[in-house]
Amino acid sequence: MNRIYVDNAATTKMSRKAVKAMLPYLEERYGNPSSLHTAGQLAAEALFNARREIAERLGADVKEIYFTSGGSESDNQALISAAEAGARKGKKHIISQKTEHHAILNTLKKLEKQGFEITLLDVDGEGSITAEQVRSAIRGDTALVTTMTANNEIGTLYPIKEIAEVCRAKGVLFHTDAVQAVGHIPLDVHEIGCDMLSLSAHKFHGPKGVGALYVRNGLMPSCIIEGGAQERGRRAGTENIAGICSMAAALNEAATAIPEDTPKLTAMRDRLIAGLSEIPHSVLNGSTTNRLPGNVNMCFEGIEGESLLLLLDAKGICASSGSACTSGSLDPSHVLLAIGRPHEVAHGSLRLTLSSENTPDEVEFIIRSVKEVVEYLRNMSPIWQELQEGKRNYVIQ
Ligand SMILES: *Cc1c(COP(=O)(O)O)cnc(C)c1O
């Protein structure tokens, strides 16, 4: 059976170019960039070139890019760096918002235990916040504001330029988790005006286990992995040269394709939203327009998300109910709760995240399949019976 992969927010398939870019550093050029011999120096040169390419793509300077093991590590390092810099000046307040990824939320919880005060801003019905909310929350002892660029579950885009401007005016550091955005929408660190930005290769058709943190010149990231002097002494460990070179190739390819891919993805996204909205008692999560080009997230009343996913999988459709990190637990998505969906509705969610490999034919097949499966599950559901008989009220009209 032909599998249809529509879970690109969880991870993406590596592109041919990204795979090819790895191979020389696995086979012939396996030297350690810290070694002084020729083999080592070839690796060091490749590392420098990859850093320069990634910096150029983000509008950054080559000295502002630190390689990490992925988005989670970049987020941890960014938050810990800002917290430690703040603490040195007696600033122990951090501002974020409720729909962040757990790499942010759990790091904030840890910092809270260490004596930091955390403000998590409420989001609106589409999952966004305003720069004005950030301005009102900033205090004299605020060390950092961190808000994602785009949400990994519902695709909502945040007004990061405006937030960065507020932060700059108030002299507060600003970090953005851009893991879902890099390679998908145009981004430039100077245009944004952020102090730090996280990215991860496997979200834009690069390999898993490699990412980067942009840190503005003049700021010194804290070292969270101690050891050798790699990454200018800020992140120890022999560099993942193959992964880093592959990430550079993947970013070049993804960023170049944005103008061509965006209209195609947006058209497929909007067709999915229109088709699935024909299902009675369904609702779109997030905004119709202010969202990532490839993201669709809907709730269907009277449905259990996990059953929906399993039946779609049986039809060859790889989808998700939200974040890959919360699946496996029975807790409903913190993002859907934050935008005001009640628990029982939040359990019936479906996230479809497209790549340019998906086709309009696949989109039509997905719409037909979801309609069939939702109807099948509702017919078996006692709760749905009660809703139909008027013994219960619909939450989604
Ligand atoms: C995937 C993701 C991460 C984590 O990245 P990893 O490379 O998997 O550690 C962090 N933030 C967001 C928004 C993500 O989508």
pLDDT tens sequence across 280-302: 999 999 999 999 999 999 999 99
Query: Could you list the residue range(s) of the whole structural domain that residue 355 is in?
Result: 4-10+258-388
Please say which residue of 197, 232, 253 terminates a domain. Answer: 253
The alpha carbon of 368 and the centre of ligand 1 are apart by a number of angstroms equal to 31
Each residue's pLDDT tens digit, 86-101 = 999 999 999 999 999 9
CATH number for the domain harbouring residue 140: 3.40.640.10
**Residue 120, SS3 per DSSP:** strand
Query: Taking residues 64-71, what's their average pLDDT?
Result: 98
- pLDDT tens, residue by residue, 365-389: 999 999 999 999 999 999 999 999 9
Does residue 305 sit in the same domain as residue 325?
yes
397: pLDDT confidence band, cut at 50, 70 and 90?
confident
Confidence of residue 328 (pLDDT cuts 50, 70, 90): low
Residue 217 burial (CB count, 10 A):
8
Domain closes at, from 228, 253, 278: 253
- Please, how many CA atoms are within 13 Å of residue 75, restricted to the half-sphere of its CB? 25
Tell me, what amino acid is at 57? R
- Whether 213 and 120 share a structural domain: yes
Residue 330's pLDDT band (cuts 50, 70, 90): low
What pLDDT is recorded for position 155?
98
Report residue 295 as tokens. 């993201």
> What residue spans of the chain are helical by DSSP H?
16-27, 38-58, 71-88, 102-113, 131-137, 160-170, 189-192, 241-277, 305-314, 334-338, 343-346, 360-380, 382-388
Q: State how far the Cα of 2 lies from the Cα of 360, in Å rounded to an integer.
A: 15
Ligand 1 probe mutation, 68, 69, 72, most atoms within 8 A of CB: 72
Instruction: For residue 318, indicate whether it is catalytic.
Output: no
Measured in Å, residue 38 CA sits from the centre of ligand 1 at 36
What pLDDT digit, counting tens, does each position of 259-273 carry?
999 999 999 999 999
The CA distance from 286 to 298, in Å, is 9
The CA 174 to ligand 1 mean position distance, Å, reads: 18
Q: Do 147 and 222 fall within a single domain? A: yes
> Which residues sit with their C-beta closer than 6 Å to ligand 1?
70-72, 75, 101, 103, 148, 152, 177, 179-180, 200, 202-203, 211
Same domain? For 285 and 166 the reply is no
Rg (CA), the chain: 22
Q: What is the pLDDT of residue 78?
A: 98
Residue 329: the pLDDT is: 58
Residue listed under structure tokens 């918002």: 97
Report how far residue 120's alpha carbon sits from residue 100's, in angstroms, rounded to the nearest whole number. Answer: 9
Query: 200 and 180 share a domain?
Result: yes
Residue 43 domain flag: yes
**222-236 average pLDDT score:** 95
CB 336 within 8 A of CB 153: yes
pLDDT by residue (tens digit) across 29-58? Answer: 999 999 999 999 999 999 999 999 999 999
Give domain status of residue 328, yes or no.
Answer: yes
The count of structural domains within the chain is: 2
Residue at which a domain ends, from 200, 234, 253: 253
pLDDT of residue 324: 52
Q: What is the mean pLDDT of the chain?
A: 96
Q: What is the pLDDT of residues 105-135, one digit of tens each?
A: 999 999 999 999 999 999 999 999 999 999 9
pLDDT at 2 over 90: no
Residue 397 belongs to a domain? no
Q: Tell whether 286 and 150 lie within a shared domain.
A: no
Is the pTM higher than 0.85? The answer reads: yes
Q: Which of 175, 180, 246 to mutate to test the pocket of ligand 1 (most atoms within 8 A of CB)?
A: 180
219 and 288 assigned to the same domain: no
The whole-angstrom distance between residue 383's C-alpha and the CA centroid of its chain comes to 34
Atom 14 of ligand 1, residue of closest alpha carbon: 179
| Mean predicted confidence (pLDDT) in 251-261 | 98
Confidence of residue 1 (pLDDT cuts 50, 70, 90): low
- Mean pLDDT within 147-166: 98
- Pair of tokens at residue 232: 């200018």
Structure tokens at 153: 């579950």
